[in-house]
Amino acid sequence: MFFKNTADCVGGTLFNNKYWGEATVFTVDDGLFSDRVRVVHERPDGKGYPNHLKGDEIPRVAQIIAVADCFDAMYSNRPYRNRMNFEKVVSIIKEVAGTQLAPDVVDAFLRLVDKGEFRSPDDDGGGSMENIENIRKKNDDPPSPPPAS
C-alpha cells in the first residue's frame, strides 16, 4: 500500500492509496506508529531530518514509508507538474538507494515493480522525464524579464 503523502498517516490512521483499492481506513492504536512516521525523512546516510538518524537507527516502518512516499511524490500529478514517467521514477529510486532510501527496502520495491505492481492503470507511458532538480529549479527561478524593445 502506498500513501498519498505522509500527512495521510496523521494520528496513526492510514488511508488507502488512490490507485490501489477502495477507501479503506486502517487504524493503529499502539502509539509507536505515529512516532515512526515522524522520522520518514531520515536517511540511511544520516543527512535526513529531524534527528539525523542513520541506517538501522531508522525504524523499519519509516524506511518502508520513505520509499512509498518518494514513489508517490514523483508518480503523482502535482499542481506545478504532471507525474513523472514510471521508468524515470524507478530509475531515481534505484539511484538514491543507500543514501536517501534503505537499499533492502528499495530492492523489495523493485521486485514488486518487476512483477508489474505500482504502475497506474491509466499510465500510457508518458510523463515527465525531467530530473527533480530541473523541475525544482524551473519552479524556483523568478520569471525572465521581458525582452528590451
Express each pLDDT in 3-24 by its tens digit: 444 444 433 334 444 444 444 4
Q: Chain centroid to CA 50: how far? A: 17
Q: Which amino acid type is present at position 79?
A: P
Q: Domain 6-120 is in which class? A: mainly alpha
What is the average pLDDT across 35-45?
A: 78
Structure confidence at residue 40 (pLDDT): 78
Q: Is the pTM of this model over 0.85?
A: no
Structure confidence at residue 119 (pLDDT): 92
Please give the Cα distance from 33 to 12 (Å, whole number): 6
Q: Does residue 77 have a pLDDT over 90?
A: no
